Amino acid sequence: MVGDERSRRDAGTSAVPGGRWSRFARLGALAGGVAGSMLAEGTRQFAQGKRPRVGDLLLTPANVRRVADQLAQLRGAAMKLGQLLSMDAGDLFPPELAAILARLRADARAMPPSQLSSVLDAQWGHGWERHFRQFASTPVAAASIGQVHLAQTKDGRRLAIKVQYPGVRQSIDSDVDNVATLLRISGLLPHGLDVGMLLHETKRQLHAEADYLGEGAWLRRYAGLVADAPEFMLPEVHADLTTESVLAMSCMGGEPVESLLDAPQAERDRVAGLLFALLFREIFEFRLIQTDPNFANYRYDTATRQLILLDFGATRRYPAAIVDAYRRLMASAVAGDRQEMSVAASAIGYFRADIGERQRQLVLDVFLQACEPLRHAGAYDFGHSDLPARIRDAGLALSTERDSWHTPPADALFLHRKAGGLYLLAAKLKARVDIRALFLPYALRQVPS
């Protein structure tokens, strides 16, 4: 009876492979399944008198689903790598891989309650339930690294508890390498795309995100930085229940920020404006940026009109020299000074020493496109702008010049992800924001060292 009850509670979930070898075996089985599917499909088509290309056999709908399913089930680095690749270079990928990566951005399965209980036994000790009046075994959110549960302690605290999937931290490096190899040999990654730096940065970022004690420290640090801004609200870390793999925070209410789509125009404009103003503070005042642009990291309290900020595992510190170079890049874009833009972009690390003038101008064209809201006088209408499509087209044009440009430094990629995420959120809210007015106070300000 107990076993039947556990099976019912575990239905609809997916256990996370915890051991390194079990995770490797999953990837090996995935490669074997893809190869078997190719063989079967090839045999079928040859029997029909067709001569299929290898690429057509590889990228069948069945194989695309097989890869997406397995990477989502592994979670952790396997899933996070797909998410990072999709945001940083998705426009350069074949549509089949783009479909896999898009699914990984949204598809995170919860681990079953039986596995959750084992994880909490290891972190809090047997009998941990005695500390709680209520602990919801069904998570309210599940992502690539862990899942979030609501709970109430015996002393009345209402908490949101983030629990890390087992084996994720120990398997980060091997998962990233194995998945990258799988995507490369399968042909799903273009041969000319150099993802070495991105793989290295993915490992570093994942190790940081998997350290929940470190995330708690970032959360407390960030809360101090915005203590002078009552329009923002952050959860409080509860240290007595926080470990390296469990992060206990005060439970925050609010609604998903996307629910503001039906709010009055002025309210949507205000919320988007607050987030862009905060981004400029992050860059030019704090030199500390929460780089994850996931919409789920923002909630809105309609009663207090406060923005709730969540998830600080992807917080990144920026050097003063890079921040000042970005200040000069943005200011020169506003002024239309391409020569100064080029100098600032070089200081950030965008250009190889042997870059040609044509390629340099193409890069500057992309910057000018991206800075369009900065250059616009008055409120920029994100809802009626085709800016994301134009940036994509400019990036695709640039991608054909692979012999003369290289992937920008990691600091730039993560900043672009954050800014791009805010652009998308503003577009979703159909917000109108005077971005130029928000930036100009920083245009001539000296960046603190």
Report the alpha-carbon distance of residue 48 to residue 56 in Å, rounded. 15
Give strand pairing partners of 135: 151
Look at the block and give the residue holding tokens 């064209």: 365
Would you name the residues annotated as active-site residues? 292
* Strand-pair category, 255-256 with 246-250: unpaired
The token duo for 185 is 């040999």
Report the alpha-carbon distance of residue 161 to residue 228 in Å, rounded. 27
SS (H, E, C) the chain: CHHHHHHHHHCCCCCCCCCHHHHHHHHHHHHHHHHHHHHHHHHHHHHCCCCCCHHHHHCCHHHHHHHHHHHHHHCHHHHHHHHHHHHHHHHHCCHHHHHHHHHHHHCCCCCCHHHHHHHHHHHHCCCHHHHEEEECCCCCEECCCEEEEEEEECCCCEEEEEEECCCCCCCHHHHHHHHHHHHHHCCCCCCCCCCHHHHHHHHHHHHHHCCHHHHHHHHHHHHHHCCCCCCEECCCECHHHCCCCEEEEECCCCEEHHHHHHCCHHHHHHHHHHHHHHHHHHHHHHCEEECCCCHHHEEEECCCCEEEECCCCCEEECCHHHHHHHHHHHHHHHHCCHHHHHHHHHHHCCCCCCCCHHHHHHHHHHHHHHCHHHHCCCCEEHHHCCHHHHHHHHHHHHHCCCCCCCCCCHHHHHHHHHHHHHHHHHHHCCCEECHHHHHHHHHCCCCCC
